[in-house]
Amino acid sequence: MKKVYTCFCTDMIHDGHMNIIREAKKLGSLTVGVLCDSEMIKYNRFPLKTLEERVEMVKSIPEVDEVVVQDNLMYDKVIGELKPDYIIHGDNWEGEAMQAIYHNIVDNLSKYGGELVSIPYTYNPVVEKLDRQNREKLAMPEYRRARLRKLLNIVPVVKTIEAHSGLTGLIAEKTVVAHDGAIDQFDAMWVSSLCDSTEKGKPDIELVDMTSRFRTIEDIMEVTTKPIIFDGDTGGLTEHFVYTVRSLERMGVSAVIIEDKVGLKKNSLFGTEVQQTQDSIENFSAKIAAGKESQLSDDFMIIARIESLILEQGMEDALSRAFAYVAAGADGIMIHSRKKSPDEILEFCDRFRAKDKETPIVVVPSSFNSITESELAEHGVNIVIYANQLLRAAFPAMEKAAKSILTHHRAHEIDSDLLSIKDIITLIDEI
Ligand code: SPV
Ligand code: MG
């Protein structure tokens, strides 16, 4: 009896999967791998069913002889252990990620003469509709809102990229890379006050009002499914903050981060070059407590952002604020710095973690950008936010195009730097 293996990364079994299963079964005894949660997130999207439910779903298919959990998108381990004679896979091999998987399977099978069998991928209107319905579910407020807390339990670091429009939301949602034998994508989105304001040509001083900030969230939500962390600036007056919390929860935002400053807020990256005033521990703790009190769902998170290092108030001040804000009910702590070196951030994380093993730590490595996510995770960081890179990438590219057209009195010279006309008109999927 030949050994046959195929891996499923799905919440539902449709015609396409059954076709693969029937073809696989013709070749021998069939083992099906169910991809674990953390790898499913990198490959496809957030699972709607738990791993246990997905395993049960596959076990209930009569043609399946055995079910295993595949704990990596790449096949090295599973092929090494099972040594199947055949691996069966849909023939949808287009794109960077699928090509990386294809080569990984072929390389591993070639070590002992196993064979890859590609089955035409079924994508009929029924399958397509089911797929769209599942995606739609992920975008619903309750599903989306709850996912940040779930992610914190699944991945070592929640990789979060800023989005300030539908288009940047799509980049956050869809960008996938295959690199160094792994596939990766972002886990969540950050709606930055700096980027939201700059996109509107306004300074980052809480001038863009909440109604407009909510509009930006809506634009992003309409075309994405990933969870959103909202930059709530100072949170405003406590009497206003409680309403903001309710609105964000209702929209399906997963978390708001508010910073402990009062008066005219300026962007933290100015540091002490501009006048900025830190709130008292008592006032800010009361704001956090009022926010938590007003919140209706269990999944929404209020994260307290500490500006002590930005405002050069010292490590002891930062730490005592962190413990006070957690005691007031904060679901996470964001510690910020504008130093090039990550040293003060790492010292904060180590000292905070020595006393508090649970409360999630958030960092925004805009200045201290040489440190990697895994190095930060080793010091207890749970969420890394790339807070402004998409906007900063777009501006020089747009300015270069404008200057080239003005210089040459035509668009010919810049054209090769631009997205092709074909690509721009087909970039957005129609329903
Ligand atoms: C933002 O992105 O708006 C932030 C992070 O608040 S920072 O600009 O570094 O202050
Ligand atoms: Mg901000």
User: Could you give the domains of the chain?
Assistant: 3-128 (3.40.50.620), 140-387 (3.20.20.60), 393-427 (no CATH)
Give the residue-averaged pLDDT of 138-157: 95
C-beta 228 within 6 A of ligand 1: no
Cβ within 8 Å of residue 260, ≥6 positions away: 234, 278, 279, 284, 304, 305, 306, 307, 321, 325
pLDDT in the model for residue 271: 84
Average of pLDDT values for 159-169?
A: 97
* Residue numbers annotated as active site: 204
pLDDT tier at 360, thresholds 50, 70, 90: very high
Mean pLDDT of 213-240: 97
The DSSP string of 254-320 is: -EEEEESEESS---GGGGGGS--EEPPHHHHHHHHHHHHHH--SSS-EEEEEE-TTTTT--HHHHHH
- Residue 192: nearest ligand to its CA? 1
pLDDT at residue 321 greater than cutoff 90: yes
**pLDDT surpassing 80 at residue 123:** no
pLDDT for 374: 97
375 phi and psi, to 5 degrees?
-65, -40
Lowest mean pLDDT across 37-51, 80-94, 342-356, 381-395:
37-51
pLDDT at 294: 98
CA torsion, ordered 73, 74, 77, 81, to nearest 10 deg: 90
Atom of ligand 1 nearest to the CA of 193: 3
Q: Does the CB atom of residue 388 touch ligand 1 within 6 A? A: yes
CB 55 within 8 A of CB 69: yes
CB of 194 closer than 6 angstroms to any ligand 1 atom: yes
Sign (positive/negative) of CA torsion 316, 319, 323, 324?
positive
| Predicted confidence (pLDDT) per residue in 294-317, tens digit | 999 999 999 999 999 999 999 999
Other residues' Cβ atoms within 10 Å of the Cβ of residue 346? 20
Could you tell me the distance, in angstroms and rounded to a whole number, from the CA of residue 387 to the centre of ligand 2? 9
Mean predicted lDDT score pLDDT of the chain: 95
- Alpha carbons within 13 angstroms on the beta-carbon side of residue 159 total 16
